Amino acid sequence: MAEIKKYEPGTFCWVELAAKDGPAAKKFYTSLFGWRANDIPIGEGAVYSMLEKDEKEAGALYELGPQQKGVPPHWNSYIRVESADESAAKAKKLGGKIVTEPFDVMDQGRMANIQDPTGAVFAVWEPKKHTGAQVMNEPGAFCWNELYTTDPKKAGDFYSELFGWTREPMQMPTGEYTIFKKGDTQIAGMMRIPKEMGPVPPYWLVYFAVDDSDRTVDKARGMGARVGVPPTDIPNIGRFAILNDPQGAGFAVIKLQMPAQA
């Protein structure tokens, strides 16, 4: 697939892992997805590891610092915006909380971390030199983002107002599932947190495309991952599974029946 050079505003453009143990996380994910880690020094002995698939950037990871004590390992999803400052201000007016005020990431772009009114955290990205992931929707790259929330109506209103997304509800065996769309393009999914999951706080889940969900899950389990949802078929979509890596960060894998086009 050709390298992605541009993302439209209101679309997911980047995923990033905050890990407790950076080297261990690199070992796990590079083995699982065939990524290569390109370490970029970011001061005081810290590194930002670009995760590359066939020499194209698929995402990144970094190690949580002392100032982030109490923050659990997690994958963060970035949404492309025209202005990080304007998006953060608008999110605040809509009932969101600004976790990290807009700031420049060197000459790469400008970002802010935002918590929606139900508690899920995401990032907005105003690109400069760094557009986002250079590869998407193919094995070894992220292909979908899904919101688990306690209040689909409140969350849906927030994201629709903030990014201009429309909502398309559909019935699934687990209950109502909402597809967020920007024009005719499917952007993300949303569902209420199932009672079976227990007291889980709202969060965004990242999906990675794989060639074989069962084999990927077996490999991940063998390296210490925990399986939350075993490989399961979604009619006309693919076969997916939800896991937690050895440090606890949640993510999903899916063998797409009909791979989406970037």
pLDDT confidence of 15, banded at 50, 70, 90?
very high
Q: Are residues 123 and 170 in the same domain?
A: no
CB 133 within 8 A of CB 15: yes
| Residue 261 placed within a domain | no
Amino acid at 108: Q
CB 153 within 8 A of CB 147: no
Cα–Cα distance for residue pair 172/234, rounded to 1 Å: 9
CB 183 within 8 A of CB 201: no
Whether pLDDT at 12 is above 90: yes
In terms of residue numbers, what domain contains 110?
12-127
CB 208 within 8 A of CB 140: yes
| Residue 134 placed within a domain | no
In this structure, what token pair is assigned to residue 245?
A: 């890596």
Q: Are residues 122 and 167 in the same domain?
A: no
> What number of residues does the chain have?
262
pTM, full prediction: 0.94
What are the tens digits of pLDDT across the range 244-254? 999 999 999 99
- Strand segments (E) across the chain: 12-19, 36-41, 47-53, 56-63, 74-80, 97-105, 109-115, 121-127, 142-149, 166-172, 175-182, 185-192, 203-209, 226-234, 238-244, 250-256
More confident residue, 150 or 175: 150
Cα–Cα distance for residue pair 173/196, rounded to 1 Å: 14
Q: CATH number of the domain that 174 lies in?
A: 3.10.180.10
Whether pLDDT at 227 is above 50: yes
What are the tens digits of pLDDT across the range 96-135? 999 999 999 999 999 999 999 999 999 999 999 999 999 9
Instruction: Count how many domains the chain has.
Output: 2
- Dihedral angle, C-alpha 243, 245, 249, 253, nearest 10 °: -40
| Residue 136 placed within a domain | no
How many other C-beta atoms can be found within 10 angstroms of the C-beta atom of residue 212? 14
Of 127, 159, 185, which one is at a domain's C-terminal end?
127
Averaged pLDDT of the chain = 93
| Residue 22 placed within a domain | yes
Q: Are residues 154 and 246 in the same domain?
A: yes
Of 101, 127, 153, which one is at a domain's C-terminal end?
127
